[in-house]
Amino acid sequence: MIRRSPHCYDSVQSPLFFFAILGLTFIKESFAMQDQPQRTILAIGAHCGDMEVTCAAVLAKHKKQGDRVVILHLTLGEGGNPKMSPRAYGEQKRKEAEEAAKVIGAEVLFGSYKDGEVPNNEEARRYIADVIRQVKPTHIITHWKLSIHKDHATTNFIVNDAVLLASLEGVVTDHPRHQGVKGIYFTENWEDAENFKPYLYVDVTDHLMAWKQCVSKYEFIGGGISSFPYLEYYEALARVRGAEAGKRYAVSFDIDQFEKKRVVNFLD
């Protein structure tokens, strides 16, 4: 027979045992939670490159955090190269988009629409709604509503409507409804500047290098296709937003006016 010290608890009765069980349960639940990413970010852009130049640093940060990141390009943006046919440039941009997504660990999807012809119709809304139902995002990022490019403005309209359609039981697509979208965030894009007001700032100081590596997969970033200095502009913008946010680099988003409404008991 084994003699016990009077201060030695039977392991089954020990409070330490219960704390250990509680701890194990917590760890088990934590692992279970890790199986499902905390967030799924779905970024929907009109053209390959739009989401990456404006917010790949944020996407990279979320991916590193363990979140799932998916980019949907509605068109390839194949019309933007005066030296190549849309078909050839489209093929190039598809490959560039795949490589860019790989850099930040994002999944990539392509719509079937043509550059300059993103349709403001029911079919496009239902297509995006069905993507939302499959991807099940918690957060959606897309274009701001006022733009010099009609594809960007149209994308804003149809994405907003698609989030609603995706949530409605009565709207029939190939997949069941999804009601888990917590917010829609609009990117700061030089083409979509009218009335855009930075509202939410995300610190991307440690992710600017990933952004640069990601967007550099696109030839148009280097200045050979477009005269717009994409790399310099967006790096400088990140520095400006960073300064405003008290960080080194930041990326800003706007949200709908209605979502800015706050209700409080007292002034805080």
Under 8 Å CB-to-CB from 189, ≥6 apart: which residues?
Answer: 50, 53, 54, 143, 144, 147, 152
Rounded to 10 degrees, the C-alpha dihedral 84/85/87/89 comes to 20
The rounded distance, in Å, linking the Cα atoms of 75 and 111 is 6
Q: How far is the CB of 174 from Zn ion (least distance, A)?
A: 28
Query: Minimum Å distance from CB 75 to Zn ion?
Result: 8
- Cβ distance to Zn ion smaller for residue 171 or 225: 225
Tell me the closest approach of the beta carbon of residue 216 to Zn ion, in angstroms.
Answer: 18
Distance, CA of 141 to chain centre: 5
Measured CA to CA, the distance from residue 117 to residue 71 in angstroms comes to 19
Instruction: Rank residues 112 and 265 by Cβ distance to Zn ion and give the closer one.
Output: 112
Q: Which residue has the tokens 């409070």?
A: 15
Minimal distance, residue 50 CB to Zn ion, in Å: 4
The Cα 60–Cα 67 span in angstroms is 10
Rg (CA), the chain: 23
**47 or 68: CB nearest Zn ion:** 47
Contacts with Zn ion, residue ranges (CB under 5 A): 46-47, 50
Distance CA 246, CA 168 (A): 41
- The minimum distance between CB 54 and Zn ion, in angstroms, equals 10
Residue among 45 and 242 whose Cβ is closer to Zn ion = 45
Rounded to the nearest angstrom, the gap between the alpha carbon of residue 129 and the centroid of all alpha carbons in its chain is 16
Q: Which is nearer to Zn ion, 165 or 214 (CB)?
A: 214
Q: Which is nearer to Zn ion, 47 or 133 (CB)?
A: 47
When CB distances to Zn ion are compared, the closest residue is 47
Q: How far is the CB of 65 from Zn ion (least distance, A)?
A: 27
